[in-house]
Structure formats: C-alpha cells, structure tokens
Chain A
Amino acid sequence: MSIDFTMVDRTLLVTLEGEIDHHTCVEIRQTVDREYQKRRAKNLLFDFANINFMDSSGIGMLMGRYRSVAICGGEIGLYNVSPEAWRILSLSGIHKLMKTYSSKQEAIEALA
C-alpha cells in the first residue's frame, strides 16, 4: 500500500495505491489521520484510481474518516472509483454519506 498526500487549499487529497483490506486499513487510518491533523485540513478526498481491491474493511475505514471530518465541519469525497469498488460502496450505503466524483478537478471544484 502506498499513500501520497497533496494539499489544495484546505482539502487533503489522498492518493492510495494497492488493496484496501483489514491489514492495510491500519496503515491508511493512522497515516491519513496524522496528515489530516498536521496539515489542519478541512476536507478529505480519496483518489481511488489505483485501488484494485477493497472489501468491507475499507467501508469501516471510510466511515471512521467520515466521522472525524464531519466533526471538523468538512466534507469527504472519492474520485476515480472503479465499478468494482463502487459495488461495495453502494452495497454498504456509504455512498449516501460521501460523494463520488468522476475526476480530481471536479472533486476539488465541488469542495472549494
């Protein structure tokens, strides 16, 4: 799992590469929370372009981030979501809590 961060205004962009499961969620959770606090970000955006697998552990991880971002008055979103990842997002109902955008540009503009 590789995790990269970019800051655009008060939105933290998280680019994930690899597979999201119970094992990798530990690292994602810790790293994202640390960067989110350190950079005093408000919104959180996940780039899913290079996620080639996600199970329900990823849903738990996203729900947890949703809570902490909501407390800070921010919004959370996803972009470049594959049809496979979309299936578990819609199955869990979490897609009603966070928007999915078709591109990075669209996501950034929506949260600006």
Chain B
Amino acid sequence: MLRAEKIFFKVGEKTLLQETSVAFEENRFHVIMGPNGAGKSTILKILAGSQRPSGGKIFFHEKEIRLFSQNELARLRAVLSQHYNITFPIATSDMVMMGRYPYFKTVPSKSDKEICQMAAGVMQATDLLGRDYNTLSGGEMQKIQMSRILAQIWDTQETENKILFLDEPVSHLDLKYQHQLLQVAKEMCKKNITVIAILHDINLSITYADRILFMKQGRIIYELKDHYQITSAIIKDVFDMDSAIINPGNGKKPVVVF
C-alpha cells in the first residue's frame, strides 16, 4: 500500500503541488487526470521516490519511502517515463534486460532472461528484440520501454505488492496498442501489482481505471471510486470543457462526448 501524508512540493516561490494526502489501494488501477501543469508528473515523481517532496511523508508497505535503498525500491516499483533520449546504439534485448538490473550483479541469470522474454511477449514485442533500439518507431520504442518496466517488476512469486507507475504511457501508440498496453497494465493488477497511471483520454481512463483522481492547480480535487460517478460538472470544473455523459446501460461503461 502506498500512502502520501501531507506532501507538497515547491520550486522557489512556485508551489507545484499543494499539501496533499492520498492513499492508493493495492492491486487497483489508479488513473491521474488533469490539465497541463496540474502537477500530475510532479506527484508521480514524488510518489515514485525520485523527487523529494518539500514536506510530508510517503509510506510504502508502512515504511517511509526515503528509508528504502535505491535498489530495494527498484525491485518494488517501476516507472515508465514520458520521454527517453537514447544517444547510443543499443540492442532492444539489452534495453529490456536493463529491467532486470536490480536483480543481478554482472551476469543475468537464466530466469532473468526468461522474464525478459515473457515481458516482451506480453507486450507483443518479441520480434523487435533483435533490432537496434534507435531504428524503432516511436510506438515500438514505447513497447520496448514498457517491456523493460514489466521485466523490472515481474515476480513469479507475486508475494510482495509492487507498483507500476505509468506517465502518459500511450502517447505514442496507435489505437490498438493503446488498449493493448492498458490491458496489460490492468492484467498486472491481478498479479499483486498496483498501477498508477497518468492519462489524457477520459474515455480510456473510464474503461480501465478502478479509481480516477482529478488534479488541478497542484491539488487533487476529485477522487472517483467508481466510473459511474463521472459527471459533466466534474469535467467542466477540471478541464473547462463542456461535455455530455452517455450511459449505455447493460453494465457498459459510460462514455464522455464533447
């Protein structure tokens, strides 16, 4: 379980994240939404432990996150970032293997290799493995990065709850792979993994999220526990957009139209 207590973040005079307390439920798919500059990436980085908050505490498994060593943390959570800038030639298979770095010293074990294969398999990226990473298209790179992240938190035992952070994971993907990636993330929730993702598409969020958090101006202003709670008033408030909610009924999820 991941929990933040009264965290806030300031850069100079500017407050990027207002004082926030928030808890994430184990094995749930959480989506953070909000307009640009709302502080989504900031809170993600703080929760992932790569950015120290200006104040407040974060607890993971009831232990303060700053008390974990970098390597311990690397075995418990993985982060898919928005951008990667790779300057040097590197084989895609080596890229995916980086996900196993927290687990071996110099030479990957057989199980490390198998896990990489499985992770790439789940992302349907197996046939990309022999290629040079820099020759891939944007979408293919995203798939490889996701495979790497999955390899990092892949756990055949599934004893410990781990967290998957996704910062705009589908930005470079076509329609099919957007759904494929989120489907994979959703599947991970069944393997004792908590997902926290930033998404921009409200209908994608409704489709996959168990919880939706709306942020605006550095604070979380709505926390929806159920996608039926979505209203056009919320969307107007968060994004300043007029919309209508269509409820198809028969257990189908609501659709937001603009």
Do A and B pair up? The answer is: no
Residues of A with Cβ closer than 8 Å to B? Answer: none
Residues of B with Cβ closer than 8 Å to A? Answer: none
